[in-house]
Structure 1
Amino acid sequence: MKTLTRGQKLRLAELTSATQLQVRLEFKAGQSFDFSCFGLDDGATLSDDRYFIFYNQKQSPQHELQLLSFDARSAAFSLNLAQLPSTVRRLVFVATIDGNGDMRGLETGKIILSDSSSVVAEFSFAGSDFISEKAIMVAEIYFKGEWRVAANGQGFKEGLSAVLRHFGGQEVEESPQQQSALKPKMPVAPVAVAPSPPPRPVPPTAYTPPPVQNSGGGVPLSKISLQKNQTISLSKMVPAGLRRIKMGLGWDPAAQGRSVDLDGSCIAFDANKKVVETIWFGHLQSRDGTIQHSGDNLTGDGAGDDETISIELERLAPNIQTLVFTINSFTGQKFSALKNAFCRVVDTQSNQELARYDLWQSGNVTGMIMAKITREGNEWKMTAIGEPAGGITVHFLVKKVKNFI
């Protein structure tokens, strides 16, 4: 058996000729941990999230990677390197704090690499090796002419969310206080929002033009049902002034009795298409409190909005130019497993629905870019997007979202 030191790299052939391997992580600590394996491409990017193996997605499409077992302080993965597609050339094993604390609370940890007959390599570490990290890339197996092994130990202060962004190549810049552990995903007490809307209406067969405004007040005479790629002015629909809105996101399970756990999110961009902040189930409120998420809906059951994101437009930071709203399936369920997906904008002062976009086609994807709201001077406009995308969290959609700004 080979004992590795931090930063050491060597050829897998020096350890074993086998391509069917097992990786086991064993931690001794008072804390609980989540363990995952990222199957990355040549650019060290998770370009196919089916190769992100963790507690909610325990195997890759052809079972080349499998999470065999896990608990709060250990996990075991099986690997079949010969069966991996050519698009997966790096396997990174990650441990994340589940809850409060950081890696300094770790007494000892180790990762063990075995073939079918024996342990071939081991890398050990301790909490004293870290400062305030909440996630660490423990080790990796990567292809560079041939398969190789590296003892890593690189840490991330913000936890799994930062690791996801790192492997997704995103530009989200959030403070450590904004990060939250991805597991367990429990319902969160919602912020105060307007009462639930009535059941969804039957969609119109054609585009409904903007309503004629009443002369005396700020309540629109009717709402607009948007078509894909259609843009309208929200501000013109409320002559008295559009101050606060909420974006309602909703969906229903396609099969009766089946739950669909999706996550609504909002990405705020500046005029240079740079991410200012991301509001999602791991970060329910913006730094200044002007954008608030209602919390995670775990089933999709019931009429009306499943999740809402409230925005105080009059207090929104002046550098925020565009808000993009997305839906993702963190558990890997496809959009073909749902129906009646929609997003709608409500003026929270009057509780009147201003505009709505019903998504009638979804497909075998795990993410959807639903709509955007854009600031143009003192005016706010909404555009229906309805673009399918891949990604189990909003962080994987950022690059594609920029194409619609």
Structure 2
Amino acid sequence: MSQGANAPLTAVRVRIEVTARQRLDVSGLLITKAGKVRSDADLVFYNAPRGPGVTHNPSGGSLPDAITVDTWAVPSDVATVVITASLDEQGATFAGIEPTATILDADTGRVLATFAPPRLGRETALVLVEVYRRGAEWKIRAVGQGYANGLAGIASDFGVSITDAVPVTPPGAPAPAVPDYAPPASSPAHVPPMPDYTPAAPRVTLDKGRVSLVKGGSVSLVKGGHALLSSVRMALGWQPARRGRNIDLDASCIAFDARRERLETVWFMKLNVFNGAIQHTGDNLTGGGSGDDEAIDVHLDGLPPEVVGLAFVVNSFSGQRFTDVRDAYCRLLDVTTGEELVRFDLTNAEPHTGVVMCKLVRQLSGEWVMTALGEYVDAKTARGMVKPAAALL
């Protein structure tokens, strides 16, 4: 690649390796559309080697420092992953050093692209490449922008608080080891599941009882240190905004693999899939009554290993907008006990005919993470929700 060039990514998981004549420290920053990190935890480097969808892989043996990006696991509010390189030796510059970034398919080792920036001088750090979203796709861009004030200068430009976020490893101290990615034995070799990650915010579990989510909030379905691998029910409800007017909303569940490809859809035209592992309890045509209007049961431990993400969506089959609906919500229950585990109340309606309420995503540990979305689109049936839902996973 030449400086400024971009290309589509042809792999879900990519590894960016950086080589040079001297030892380099490679880092990754998770950047929003506003061009800044969400918090200091969005800097992934040797002292903080894991972020959501981004992992630092330290050099070892014949392998150079690298950053692995699992595009599936990058949060929806992150637009770009910036890959940087800085010199390990104090006082050294990039003059006479020719760093090269090699972008590989992290699962096959296939080289996708390479980039060597133009000749450098007094720079001590540089932004090498960017992995970024373009609509529902991911692309790679060759940047090659140098900085004279090291990684601290780059991090500061992107909104990281340097004092707290970039501690210095004492000379000679080993960098923290991060194991290379390895899919669990139960997963097919050709399907790369989402890796685990350490969220920027404190991890929320079910240990303290029911969790109420706000839009964008997440909860790990873990209780007492163990993943909740049992049957859960996603129940959805709503009320007409004006009395005497029926609203025909339909709840559906779309199952995706690790490449965001749809595997199956459970909706009123197909009430169960995967031998009953996901089952719709039936269609409500009016939204009447004070309880749940529609529900979908999911037997988590009965899902095939290729199922990595579930999106729960609601559509107005009759064409009315969600501004004609009030008190829409979804709640997750333990089917065995009936206990409500998680609740998300959709407080602000928008004039559209579809909404992606929430998603469940499987982690490498086997646990599932639920995230409240509340994203509106125009689609009257589940068929029209596949692409919007995939883009939010």
Q: TM-score, with normalisation over the residues of structure 2? A: 0.47
Q: TM-score, with normalisation over the residues of structure 1? A: 0.45
